[in-house]
């Protein structure tokens, strides 16, 4: 079985399947995010520009991280730095830089909306987009698979010898399942607890990403395997810290309300 095509032609134009798939995923995530923000009553006017700068930041961060962790390949070849159509985007580099830019823009354009409320609306859309992106992006790029395997589920990928563990498909299923879990939690009493959706998304995604990197990709990753695993654990730890902070804050607020209620009772 030959690997999936990494590009296709429309007349004189050549489209790389990897980038085309990521564009579809980004657009779906954008539409879904707009829908979620609107439901929460958050102003949509600046969201188009917000999305644009987030995508730019994610692309720059992901490419910079890949270059930094594979410097021996890029050193002395500046033309390779911008050849993103050949693959080479480190997910956590993109997340890290996009997060910084997103925090700045959120405070600038939505100063009256709390960061946690904004994040709770946005995170499920990002995870859904990520799930679609894994199916339509890395699945069709050069070196898209994981370890060699002789099992029935092995798939051939361009640039890799033999059948490989279909990591992009596995991660797409994982992210899709996480999205369903978060949407399901929003139908419970947790929907009224600010910060829970974002925190759980961070915890689960970080742990799963680390696990995938360690067991399915390992040192065959072109993004710096150890760095990815550490970044995943850091993200999960940040999610735990955020969840505890919100729980303590909510508990403190409940204690204050009870104390006020007791003090206002007639003696």
DSSP β-bridge partners for residue 164:
148, 155
Alpha-carbon span 168 to 151, nearest angstrom: 16
pLDDT at 256 over 80: no
Min mean pLDDT across 32-46, 69-83, 135-149, 231-245 is at 69-83
Per residue in 188-220, pLDDT tens? 988 788 899 999 999 999 999 999 998 988 655
CB 205, CB 235: distance < 8 Å = yes
Q: If we measure between CA atoms, which residue out of 186, 139, 184 comes closest to residue 165?
A: 139
Alpha-carbon span 262 to 93, nearest angstrom: 51
Alpha-carbon span 227 to 213, nearest angstrom: 10
Tokens 């850091």 belong to 234
Min mean pLDDT across 4-8, 35-39, 259-263 is at 259-263
* Contacts for 51 with CB less than 8 Å, ≥ 6 apart: 30, 33
pLDDT confidence tier of residue 126, bands split at 50, 70 and 90: very high
Average pLDDT over residues 93-105: 94
Min mean pLDDT across 86-90, 102-106, 251-255 is at 86-90
* The predicted structure's pLDDT at residue 1: 46
DSSP β-bridge partners for residue 14:
9
């Amino acid at each position: 079985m030959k690997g999936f095509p990494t590009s296709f032609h429309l007349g004189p134009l050549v489209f790389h399947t990897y980038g085309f798939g990521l564009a579809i995923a980004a657009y779906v995530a954008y539409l879904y995010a707009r829908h979620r923000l609107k439901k929460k009553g958050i102003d949509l006017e600046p969201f188009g520009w917000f999305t644009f700068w987030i995508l730019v930041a994610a692309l720059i961060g992901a490419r910079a991280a890949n270059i930094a962790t594979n410097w021996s390949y890029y050193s002395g070849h500046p033309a390779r730095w911008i050849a993103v159509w050949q693959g080479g985007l480190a997910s956590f580099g993109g997340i890290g830089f996009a997060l910084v830019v997103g925090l700045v823009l959120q405070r600038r354009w939505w100063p009256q909306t709390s960061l946690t409320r904004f994040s709770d609306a946005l995170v499920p859309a990002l995870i859904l987009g990520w799930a679609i992106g894994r199916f339509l992006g890395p699945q069709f790029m050069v070196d898209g698979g994981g370890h060699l395997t002789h099992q029935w589920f092995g798939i051939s990928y361009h640039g890799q010898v033999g059948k490989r563990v279909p990591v992009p498909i596995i991660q797409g299923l994982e992210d899709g399942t996480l999205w369903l879990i978060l949407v399901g939690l929003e139908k419970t009493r947790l929907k009224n607890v600010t910060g829970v959706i974002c925190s759980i998304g961070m915890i689960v995604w970080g742990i799963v990403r680390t696990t995938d990197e360690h067991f399915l990709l390992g040192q065959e990753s072109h993004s710096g395997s150890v760095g990815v695993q550490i970044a995943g654990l850091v993200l999960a730890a940040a999610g735990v810290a955020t969840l505890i902070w919100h729980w303590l804050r909510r508990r403190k607020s409940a204690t204050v309300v009870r104390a006020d209620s007791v003090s206002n009772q007639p003696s």
